[in-house]
């Protein structure tokens, strides 16, 4: 009997545990099973009736997905027929890194010696389709991004740009992204998040989108090969109409602002190596350039300086190269070239001008011959190296003996013209004539404007005085006429008028009288009483009778009479 009882007890305990474990399970779900690389989806792990369930999950999806948000965790409790159940959810916002069929693996969770497994999920991710070629049957999101390269194939050292376009059917109020300062294999020339992007409209699959280039990235590759320019996450703030949900949302206009994480898709760039045999005059210039070389003067004196200026104009990677080393004839002290930059990073690369000015000081007399100035650049358009050459005029250095012996002939107009610049021509007539001892400080004409200024100061002072006198006169006039004005107002009051109107008339006449006479409340004991009565009557205009008002009027008139007697 005891044995039977024990068995029943054991069975009961097993059954109880079985019932307890019946509702415990873990599931993994993804918000969409088919989506594009530009879309953000949510992966959720649901822990039903499991105590001490985790608040985060090791996703193990790094090869196929980028996690752009989460973990978001929430717990729900419910009571059914006196029994409580709990559901804990852990979610992540993810975005696909690659297209094709992607399998989300089965996850295993070990909680309090109990093992729970989820089922694997197969997902279909489509590539970032060209916007124009979208299948009309695909329901495209209200907001997505497109990445556009200005060149798909560049040479090593050739500057190119990447543009990030936002397509939106929503009301975008702001957008942000982390700045990009470094990138392996590239020099980041500029990352620009546009404050006021130009926008255009486009209808895609019947939906109207506003397209704006919200950011751009200019890069110069330092290595050759195939490079994947990674996805770029953006945070877009949109204003949506609907009921405001938090106190921070706009409660009056029924709109709220929501931040949406969105990712610009990756793109691939092919960086070609530069051909061999560039020559010594190549220092890494890639683009299209023209060169100008000028010697400051072709005749100088011993120990005098002259300058050789080389100017490069064009577009390309102007920021990333220097001018090739130059050889100068013996007999000159040559300083490091002075570099002047006047170029800007435009839409696709740098364009403008760079110049190198070599200062040469002649240490001995003679005529010197310079080698041609050569500069080699690689032209991506023609896909070959181009060398620019420019001859330099011979430089004549005059010795000091020559200078002292025949100085005048050395400075004849012809000689000056040789020096490429000449003085300007003489003046054909005289303008203002001054005395030799002219002192501008003592010239009254220079101080004329100060006299005018003083006159204006006096004028404004006079205006100020006149205004003050007039104000005083006004007070005096009002003082004299105070009684007359008050009596006239009081006489105008009659019983046919509305009580409210009569009260206003009495108040105006009385208060204005006191003001005009410049009397304060403490002059007469009745003044505060009358003012108080007026104030009291103001709060019950409908209950006022003509009798009360006539009494008030008489009281005010009596007081005025008393004041006038004094």
Partner 1 sequence: MKRMITMSMVLLISLVSLTFAGDADRDQLFKQGVSAYVGEDYQHAIALFSQLEKTKKVSWELYYNLGNSYYRNGELGNAIRYWEKAKIIAPSHSDIDHNLLIAEKYIIDKVVLPDMFPLFKWYKQMQRQLSLSLNIQIIGALLLILILTLGYIRQAGRRKSKNYKATYITVLSVFLVIITLFSLITIDTAQRRKNEKYAIILENSVEILSEPTKDAIVLFILHEGSKVKVNKNIEDLWSNISYFDDKVGWIHRSAIGEIEE
Residues that bind partner 1 (CB under 8 A): 297, 301, 303-305, 403-404, 407-413, 416, 419, 421-437, 440-441, 443, 446-450, 452-453, 456-457, 459-460, 463-464, 467
Write down the least CB distance from residue 456 to partner 1, Å: 5
Is there a contact between 529 and 558 (Cβ–Cβ < 8 Å)?
Answer: no
Nearest distance, CB of residue 159 and partner 1, angstroms: 31
CA atoms within 13 A on the CB side of 103: 6
Task: Report whether 341 contacts 322 (CB < 8 A).
Answer: no
Shortest Å, Cβ 296 to partner 1: 8
Rounded CA-CA distance 123/173 in Å is 33
User: Least distance (Å) from partner 1 to the CB of residue 510?
Assistant: 25
**CB contact set of 95 (below 8 Å; sequence gap of 6+):** 37, 38, 39, 40, 41, 65, 66, 68, 231, 233, 263
Q: 393-422 in b/e burial notation, b at 16+ Cβ within 10 A?
A: eebbbbeeeeeeeeeeeeeeeeeeeeeeee
Residue 492 burial by Cβ neighbours in a 10 Å radius (0-12, 13-18, 19+) = exposed
Closer Cβ to partner 1, 421 or 565, answer by number? 421
In this structure, what token pair is assigned to residue 308?
């050789």
Nearer of residues 202 and 417 to partner 1, judged by Cβ:
417
Tokens 């409790």 belong to residue: 77
CB of 326 to partner 1, least distance (A): 22
Q: Identify the CA nearest to 348 among candidates 159, 508, 177, 501.
A: 159
- CB nearer partner 1, residue 412 or residue 473: 412
Minimum distance between the CB of residue 431 and partner 1, rounded to whole angstroms? 6
Task: Report the residue number, 196 or 427, with the smaller CB distance to partner 1.
Answer: 427
Which CB, 22 or 425, lies closer to partner 1? 425
CA-based angle 190:187:379, to the nearest 5? 95
DSSP character string of 141-184: -SEEEEEEES-SEEETT--EEEEEEEEESSEEEEEE------BT
If the CB atoms of residues 178 and 455 are measured against partner 1, the closer one turns out to be 455
Closer of 17 and 335 to partner 1 (Cβ): 335
Pick the closer one to partner 1 by CB: 206 or 431. 431
Q: How far is CA 5 from CA 1, 15, 19, 446, 521, in A?
A: 6, 15, 21, 126, 104
- Least separation in angstroms between residue 424's CB and partner 1 is 4
What count of other Cβ atoms lies within 10 Å of the Cβ of residue 314?
19
Nearer to partner 1 among residue 286 and residue 398 (C-beta): 398
Residues whose CB falls within 8 Å of the CB of residue 207, separated by 6 or more in sequence, listed in order: 140, 142, 169
| Residue 80 vs 441, nearer CB to partner 1 | 441
Question: In this complex, which beta carbon is closest to partner 1, that of residue 248 or of residue 425?
Answer: 425
Least distance (Å) from partner 1 to the CB of residue 479? Answer: 22
**Residue 205 in contact with residue 134, Cβ under 8 Å?**
yes
How far apart are the C-alpha atoms of 259 and 239, rounded to whole Å?
Answer: 9
Where residue 403 falls (left for φ over 0; alpha for ψ -120 to 50; beta otherwise) is alpha
Q: Parallel, antiparallel, or unpaired for β 384-390 and 373-379?
A: antiparallel
* Shortest distance, position 477 Cβ to partner 1, whole Å: 19
Q: How far is the CB of 446 from partner 1 (least distance, A)?
A: 4
The residue behind tokens 């490091």 is 336
Question: Cα Rg for the chain, rounded, in angstroms?
Answer: 46
Is 341 or 551 the residue whose CB approaches partner 1 more closely?
341
C-alpha–C-alpha distance, residues 266 and 224, integer Å: 18
Beta bridge partners of 258: 238
- Shortest distance, position 244 Cβ to partner 1, whole Å: 38
Q: Which residues pair with 397 in a beta bridge?
A: 300, 366
Strand ranges across the sheet with 25-30: 25-30, 40-48, 83-96, 65-80
Nearer to partner 1, 426 or 547 (CB): 426
Q: How many CA atoms lie within 13 A of 9 on its CB side?
A: 6
Residue with Cβ nearer partner 1 (83 or 424): 424
């Amino acid at each position: 009997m005891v044995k039977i009882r024990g068995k029943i007890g054991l069975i009961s305990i097993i059954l109880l545990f079985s019932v307890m474990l019946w509702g415990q399970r873990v599931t993994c779900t993804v918000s969409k099973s088919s989506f594009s690389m530009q879309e953000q989806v949510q992966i959720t792990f649901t822990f039903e009736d499991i105590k001490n369930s985790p608040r985060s999950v090791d996703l193990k999806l790094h090869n196929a997905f980028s996690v752009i948000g989460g973990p978001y965790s929430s717990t729900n409790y419910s009571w059914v027929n006196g029994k409580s159940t709990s559901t804990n959810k852990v979610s992540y916002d993810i975005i696909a890194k690659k297209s094709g069929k992607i399998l989300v693996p089965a996850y295993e969770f070990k909680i309090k010696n109990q093992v729970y497994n989820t089922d694997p999920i197969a997902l279909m991710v489509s590539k970032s389709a060209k916007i124009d070629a979208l299948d009309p049957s695909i329901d495209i999101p209200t907001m997505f991004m497109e990445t556009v390269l200005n060149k798909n194939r560049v040479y090593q050292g050739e500057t190119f740009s990447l543009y990030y376009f936002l397509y939106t059917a929503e009301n975008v109020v702001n957008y942000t992204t982390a700045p990009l300062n470094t990138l392996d294999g590239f020099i980041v020339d500029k990352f620009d998040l546009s404050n006021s992007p130009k926008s255009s409209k486009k209808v895609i699959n019947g939906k109207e989108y506003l397209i704006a280039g919200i950011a751009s990235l200019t890069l110069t590759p330092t290595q050759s090969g195939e490079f994947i320019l990674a996805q770029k996450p953006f945070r877009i703030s949109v204003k949506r109409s609907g009921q405001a949900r938090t106190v921070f949302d706009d409660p009056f206009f029924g709109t709220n602002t929501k931040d949406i994480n969105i990712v610009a898709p990756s793109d691939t760039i092919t960086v070609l190596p530069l051909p061999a045999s560039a020559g010594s005059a190549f220092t890494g210039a890639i683009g299209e350039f023209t060169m100008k070389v000028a010697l400051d003067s072709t005749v100088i004196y011993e120990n005098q300086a002259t300058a050789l200026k080389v100017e490069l104009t064009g577009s390309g990677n102007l920021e990333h190269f220097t001018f090739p080393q130059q050889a100068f004839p013996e007999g000159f002290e040559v300083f490091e070239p002075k570099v002047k930059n006047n170029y800007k990073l435009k839409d696709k690369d740098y364009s403008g001008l760079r110049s190198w000015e070599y200062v040469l000081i002649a240490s001995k007399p003679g005529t010197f011959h310079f080698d041609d100035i050569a500069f080699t650049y690689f032209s991506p358009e023609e896909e070959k190296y181009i060398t620019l050459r420019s001859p330099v005029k011979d430089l004549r250095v005059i010795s000091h003996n020559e200078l002292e012996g025949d100085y005048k002939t050395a400075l004849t107009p012809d000689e000056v013209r040789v020096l490429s610049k000449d003085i300007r021509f003489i003046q054909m007539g005289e303008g203002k004539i001054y005395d030799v001892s002219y002192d501008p400080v003592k010239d009254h004409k220079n101080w004329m404007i100060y006299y005018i200024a003083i006159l204006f100061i006096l004028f404004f002072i006079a205006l100020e005085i006149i205004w003050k006198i007039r104000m005083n006169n006004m007070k005096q006039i009002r003082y004299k006429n105070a009684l007359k004005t008050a009596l006239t107002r009081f006489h105008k009051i009659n019983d046919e008028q509305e009580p409210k109107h009569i009260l206003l008339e009495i108040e105006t006449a009385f208060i204005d009288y006191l003001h005009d006479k410049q009397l304060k409340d403490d002059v007469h004991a009745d003044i505060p009483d009358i003012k108080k009565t007026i104030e009291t009557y103001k709060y019950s205009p409908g209950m006022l009778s003509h009798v009360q008002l006539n009494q008030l009027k008489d009281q005010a008139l009596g007081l005025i009479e008393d004041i006038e007697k004094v």
